[in-house]
Chain A
Amino acid sequence: AAGVIQSPRHLIKEKRETATLKCYPIPRHDTVYWYQQGPGQDPQFLISFYEKMQSDKGSIPDRFSAQQFSDYHSELNMSSLELGDSALYFCASSPPGTSTDTQYFGPGTRLTVL
């Protein structure tokens, strides 16, 4: 079965650089979520999109922005990177027609900021 695809899988950036993370949801899923997981931490919700509109927002820094495109893929844009942004970034998707929040996670993008 198709799963959530994230690219790149690994990314190394310098401080103050920008990064773009991409997420391709499971086919026919219309909702996308982004989470950040620091070392030894639980995943923290950043932002979600439902039918290409922002649906919920968590503790996402102002330096970060995200959007969902017409084909339902999503991109997380991160600017002025800081050392503390080093983390595993997960994208998840959920199917339409339900409010049950069953989220299927991708493998994650490991971002290292030097």
Chain B
Amino acid sequence: AQSVTQPDIHITVSEGASLELRCNYSYGATPYLFWYVQSPGQGLQLLLKYFSGDTLVQGIKGFEAEFKRSQSSFNLRKPSVHWSDAAEYFCAVGLGLTGGGNKLTFGTGTQLKVEL
């Protein structure tokens, strides 16, 4: 079964500083990888996704993530954090099996706090 680990439960950065959120996955084949962001009491917004091809993917709001097969990682980065980025970030893995309807397995999330 697939699993996702987000080692950092909480991260605090200063506004304008760079950000990296870690995500490691466990799956026998190449997974489909996603990053979602959730503001308090809100739904999950898709930031970016990786299926194949270029291992550096660009997303919305200036985020990017790099897939590293050798490290089973899919870390999320942003060069300069804005106060509005404060939220919870979830990494997720999908199996991509044919037929559709395949579940996503989420990590436990990383809570980002931005200091002004």
Partners in one complex: yes
A31 and B101: CB pair below 8 A? yes
A48 and B103: CB pair below 8 A? yes
**Residues 53 to 82 of chain A near chain B (Cβ within 8 Å):** 55-56, 58
A108 and B43: CB pair below 8 A? yes
Beyond A43-B106, A103-B104, is A50–B99 a contact (Cβ under 8 Å)? yes
Q: Report the bound CA distance from A103 to B102 in whole Å.
A: 10
Beyond A42-B90, A42-B109, is A48–B101 a contact (Cβ under 8 Å)? yes
Q: Report the bound CA distance from A83 to B104 in whole Å.
A: 26
A102 — nearest CB in chain B belongs to which residue?
B49
B95 interface residue, CB < 8 Å from A?
Answer: yes
A101 and B44: CB pair below 8 A? no
Beyond A50-B101, A99-B102, is A90–B43 a contact (Cβ under 8 Å)? yes
A99 and B100: CB pair below 8 A? yes
A contact residues around B51 at 8 Å (CB): 100
Binds A, one of B19-27, B34-42, B56-64, B66-74: B34-42
Distance of A67 from chain B, by nearest CB (Å): 14
A residues near B (Cβ < 8 Å) are: 4, 30-31, 33, 41-45, 48-51, 55-56, 58, 88, 90, 92, 94, 96, 98-108, 110
